[in-house]
Structure 1
Amino acid sequence: MLHPRLLLAPTLVLGLGLAACGQPEPPVAAAPAAQPAAATPPAQPAAAAAPAWQDLNGARASSGEGELQRRGFELSRRQGLTQYWNHAPSRTCLRVVTSNGRYAVTQVPFTPQNCPV
């Protein structure tokens, strides 16, 4: 009597052979060509963060101007003892009033009247 494993081997080989000779599998469809993206406007760069200025309230006027320049502000205009400083990248405008040799600094709207660039 033949061993059961010996009977299984020809059946397995025959099954594998028939599977290989069967109908070919349908070809895989190629992915559709990428459609060009709709024209979108370029992203606007994020506004730069405004440099700190609050600590300049009460600062001595003799050192305040240099400190504003060091922080990236530019003098826009003067009006007596009042100065307007702008930081264009962050659209920040400051009004600086000098009184008794000290600064009083407040942020004002960034407009052409306050901070002409």
Structure 2
Amino acid sequence: MLTHRNVTLASVLALLLGLAACGQPATPHGASAPPAAQAAPAPQPAAAPSVADLRGARASSGESEMQTRGFTVARQRGLTAYWLHAPSGSCVRTVTSGGRYTTVDSVPASNCGR
């Protein structure tokens, strides 16, 4: 009886070593192997933060807030400034009158030199 038991253990050991040699992990009965790794999707450009709430803001506060939100002045002509949000490629125009932003709107990126 001892010989039969040794043969059975030897057979199981040979089977496990054979599976290991194949490079395939042994999975318990009923378990599924993990799915193959998939390539990560390409990152999407960041969306420009909303700036509509700056309409009517004091120009000095509005300028600071535009910078805080990631915009930089691309160009300026008089009291009209074009702000570029580089991560998204968005362009925003601000018009100042009476010390306040009277116009804050999105414009084509070409206005910011893109």
TM-score (norm 2): 0.61
Correspondence 1:71-86 to 2 at 5 A: 71-86=69-84
Q: Aligned partners of 1:114, 1:43: CA distance in 2, in Å?
A: 31
Kindly provide the CA deviation profile for residues 90-112 of structure 1, in whole angstroms up to 9, marking residues without a partner as x. Answer: 121000000111112010011xx
Provide Cα deviations, 1:44-98, integer angstroms capped at 9, x if missing partner. 4201021121100111102111110000001100011100001011121000000
Determine the structure 2 residue equivalent to 1:39: none
Which among 53, 56, 59 is matched to residue 55 of structure 1? Answer: 53
Q: How does 1:9-88 map to 2 (within 5 A)?
A: 43-88=41-86
Q: Deviations over 1:15-44 (max 9, x none)?
A: xxxxxxxxxxxxxxxxxxxxxxxxxxx954
Quote the RMSD (CA, aligned, Å): 3.0
The corresponding residue for 1:8 is none
Q: Determine the structure 2 residue equivalent to 1:108.
A: 107
Q: Read off the aligned partner of 1:79 and give its amino acid letter.
A: R
Measure, in 2, the Cα distance between the counterparts of 1:87 and 1:64: 15
Give the share of equivalent positions with the same residue, in percent.
Answer: 58
Number of aligned residue pairs: give it: 94
| SS across alignment from 1:96 | strand
- Cα distance in structure 2, aligned partners of 1:47 and 1:54: 21
Structure 2, gaps ≥5 residues long:
1-39
Counterpart residue identity of residue 116, structure 1: G
Structure 1: stretches of 5+ with no match in the other structure: 1-41
Q: Secondary structure at the match of 1:63?
A: helix
Q: List, as ranges, runs of 4+ consecutive aligned residues in structure 1 with deviation greater than 6 Å.
A: none
Give the structure 1 partner of residue 97 of structure 2.
99
Tell me the distance in 2 between the aligned counterparts of 1:94 and 1:46: 20
TM-score, normalising length: structure 1: 0.59
